[in-house]
């Protein structure tokens, strides 16, 4: 395309995206104008700024289809293809707001067609969520973290296979663990919140850890007066009443993090929980920041010093997922609980044999009531 033609197209595109407000009366005209001028524009070798304007044109087109009284399934399929072409264009990687807006409107178009199309609406909403939360994934962290686990077959499998097991928030014991799920109980203009909740259930998986060190500056978190593996409340609540174990992980593999725009289907990153005494439900859904929706808990949970591994896969499904950590140092130490059975201890030691893992036994501190201590277990020592 010549520079002269490019300037003319860009000027015309400005006129299109800044023209009158869309409603049912002019929706067909807006669609026709797009077809006359812009439906093949994405194929041109144009600048990033030009592609951003084309994204705004798609935003306008998508709302026109939503407003048009006779929009058909074929129309929405055609719109979806145009959006996919735009999204996959290498010159529009960071136009995140436009991307999540158009996917949201596509979902609204499908939902407006009736419940039979809600499956397609959910697929569009998965992409809407992906681009809406993408800014949360902005930096790589390689933390050291601890997790308290009960002894069961899932634990054994994860240790043997060098994997992390991630869970859907729908499976968490505490219904307030992920504020977004509570916020989505609020009614919305287009009736999409129940479908968004389903999209989260399919795609979002989380692993929870504890760490006394802040990701942001490697400083100690406020109130971290004892080592993570000596936290008696964590042993009672998350290690099956002291019968389980605590695992120390070193996540030194940067590939565990999938940053914004590195992958078009997966976001993965570590984030610290923020503790606050305010009532998030007193805020409207739109006023809650993305980080608050996923990394916010009441001050009563502050003893956990929680660190989360957040994993969103557009193609995810089911209640659980696994992530390979074989390229990390991974498990550095395992602490056996006060009441961990000899059978479980021996089984875990056998699984971790030859993997350079240090073992410790948690005992009561005879010098301080209610306190715990960790005693190193010799490598060759078998529990009885």
Give residue-wise pLDDT tens across range 149-207: 999 999 999 999 999 999 998 888 777 777 787 778 777 888 999 999 999 999 999 99
Residue 382 falls inside a structural domain = no
How far is CA 362 from each of CA 150, 338, 379, rounded to the nearest angstrom? 15, 5, 16
Tokens of 42: 């994405």
Residue-level pLDDT at 105: 95
Residues with Cβ within 8 Å of residue 182, at least 6 apart in sequence: 175, 176, 280, 281
Same domain flag for 160 and 130 = no
Question: Is-contact 268 137, C-beta < 8 A?
Answer: yes
Domain boundary among 136, 163, 183: 136
Question: Is-contact 128 103, C-beta < 8 A?
Answer: yes
Domain boundary among 136, 170, 202: 136
Same domain flag for 149 and 103 = no
Residue 383 falls inside a structural domain = no
Same domain flag for 127 and 169 = no
Tokens of 280: 């998030």
Domain boundary among 78, 103, 136: 136
In whole angstroms, what separates CA 121 from the centre of its chain?
Answer: 20
Per-residue model confidence as pLDDT tens digits over 212-249 = 999 988 888 887 789 999 999 999 999 999 999 999 99
Same domain flag for 189 and 217 = yes
Per-residue model confidence as pLDDT tens digits over 251-293 = 998 889 998 778 889 999 999 998 886 665 555 555 456 677 7
Same domain flag for 178 and 124 = no
Same domain flag for 117 and 152 = no
- Its domain, for residue 197, covers 144-377
Residue-level pLDDT at 50: 76
Same domain flag for 75 and 101 = yes
Number of domains making up the chain: 2
Same domain flag for 119 and 171 = no
What predicted TM-score, i.e. pTM, was given to this entire model? 0.89
Same domain flag for 127 and 165 = no
Residue 41 has pLDDT above 80, yes or no: no
Same domain flag for 189 and 335 = yes
Per-residue model confidence as pLDDT tens digits over 86-141 = 888 877 767 888 999 999 999 999 999 999 999 999 999 999 999 999 988 888 89
Residue 299 falls inside a structural domain = yes
Residue 384 falls inside a structural domain = no
Rounded Cα distance between 376 and 1, Å, is: 71
Residue-level pLDDT at 204: 95
Residue 360 falls inside a structural domain = yes
Same domain flag for 29 and 158 = no
Residue 75 falls inside a structural domain = yes
Same domain flag for 114 and 161 = no
């Amino acid at each position: 395309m010549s520079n002269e033609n490019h300037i003319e197209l860009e000027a015309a595109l400005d006129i299109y995206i800044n023209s009158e407000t869309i409603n049912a009366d002019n929706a067909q005209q807006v669609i026709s104008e797009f077809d006359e001028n812009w439906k093949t524009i994405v194929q041109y070798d144009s600048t990033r700024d030009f592609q951003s304007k084309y994204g705004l044109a798609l935003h306008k087109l998508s709302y026109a289809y939503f407003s048009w009284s006779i929009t058909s399934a074929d129309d929405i399929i055609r719109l979806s293809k145009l959006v996919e072409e735009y999204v996959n264009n290498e010159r529009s990687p960071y136009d995140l707001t436009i991307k999540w807006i158009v996917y949201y409107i596509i979902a609204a178009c499908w939902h407006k067609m009736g419940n039979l199309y809600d499956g397609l609406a959910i697929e569009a909403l998965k992409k809407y969520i992906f681009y809406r939360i993408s800014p949360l994934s902005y930096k790589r962290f390689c933390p050291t973290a601890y997790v308290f686990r009960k002894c069961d077959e899932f634990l054994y499998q994860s240790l043997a296979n060098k994997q992390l097991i991630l869970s859907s928030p729908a499976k968490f014991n505490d219904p307030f663990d992920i504020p977004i799920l509570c916020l989505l109980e609020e009614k919305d203009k287009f009736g999409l919140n129940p479908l968004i909740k389903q999209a989260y259930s399919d795609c979002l998986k989380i692993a929870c850890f504890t760490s006394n060190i802040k990701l942001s500056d490697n400083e100690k978190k406020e109130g971290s007066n004892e080592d993570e593996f000596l936290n008696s409340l964590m042993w009672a609540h998350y290690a099956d009443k002291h019968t389980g174990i605590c695992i120390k992980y070193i996540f030194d593999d940067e590939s565990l993090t999938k940053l914004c725009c590195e992958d078009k289907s997966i976001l993965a990153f570590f984030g610290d929980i923020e503790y606050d005494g305010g009532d998030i439900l007193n805020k409207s859904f739109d006023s809650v920041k993305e980080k608050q929706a996923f990394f916010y808990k009441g001050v009563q949970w502050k003893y956990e010093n929680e660190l989360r591994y957040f994993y969103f896969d557009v193609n995810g499904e089911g209640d659980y997922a696994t992530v390979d950590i074989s390229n990390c140092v991974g498990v550095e130490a395992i602490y056996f609980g006060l009441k961990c059975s000899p059978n479980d201890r021996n089984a875990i030691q056998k699984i971790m044999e030859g993997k350079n893992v240090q073992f410790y036994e948690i005992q009561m501190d005879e010098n301080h009531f209610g306190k715990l201590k960790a005693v190193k277990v010799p490598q060759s020592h078998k529990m009885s």
